[in-house]
Amino acid sequence: MGKKIIIAGGMGILFFFAVWSILIEPNIIKIEKISLEIKGLPSFFIGTKIALLTDIHSKNYGEKEKKILKILNQLNPDFIFLAGDIVDWSAKNLTSCQKFWKELNKNHYGKVFAVYGNHEHLNPRFKTFNKLFRETEIEVLNNQTKKIEKNKKFVYLIGVDDPHLGYDNLNKAMEEIDADDQNPKILLSHSPEIFRAVKNSNKKIDLVLAGHTHGAQVNIPFLSDLILPLKYDKKYKAGLFKENSTYLYVSRGIGNSGLEIRFNSFPEITLIEIR
Instruction: Give the distance, in angstroms, between the CA of residue 61 and the centroid of all CA atoms in the same chain.
Output: 19
pLDDT at residue 8 above 70? no
Which of 94-108, 223-237, 259-273 is the least confident region? Answer: 223-237
Q: What CA–CA distance (Å, rounded) separates 163 from 148?
A: 24
Q: How far apart are the first and last CA of the chain?
A: 63
CATH T-level fold of 2-274: Purple Acid Phosphatase; chain A, domain 2 (3.60.21)
Q: How far apart are CA 104 and CA 220, in angstroms?
A: 34
**pLDDT band (50, 70, 90) for residue 107:** low
Give CA–CA dist 69/78, Å, rounded: 15
The DSSP line for 194-223 is GHHHHHH-SS--SEEEE--SGGGSB--TTT
Ordered DSSP codes for 104-150:
HTSTTS-EEEEE--HHHHHSTTHHHHHHHHHHTTPEE-SSEEEEEEE
The per-residue pLDDT of the chain, averaged, comes to: 94
The answer on pLDDT for 10 being more than 80 is: no
Task: State how far Cα 6 lies from the chain centre.
Answer: 42
Beta sheet of 48-53, edge-to-edge order? 30-36, 268-274, 48-53, 79-83, 111-115, 139-140
Largest CA distance in the chain: 78
What number is the average pLDDT over the span 15-32?
Answer: 91
pLDDT exceeds cutoff 80 at 157:
yes
Domain ranges for the chain, please list them: 2-274
pLDDT tens string 220-248: 887 887 788 898 889 999 999 999 999 99
Q: Give the confidence band of 2 by pLDDT, cuts at 50, 70, 90.
A: confident
Using an 8 Å Cβ cutoff, are 136 and 165 in contact?
Answer: no
In 3-state terms, what secondary structure has residue 82? strand
Q: Are 252 and 57 in contact (CB under 8 A)?
A: no
The pTM (predicted TM-score) of the whole model is 0.94
Residue 1 has pLDDT above 60, yes or no: no
Q: Sign of the CA dihedral 248, 59, 27, 13?
A: negative
Lowest mean pLDDT among 131-140, 171-180, 213-222: 213-222
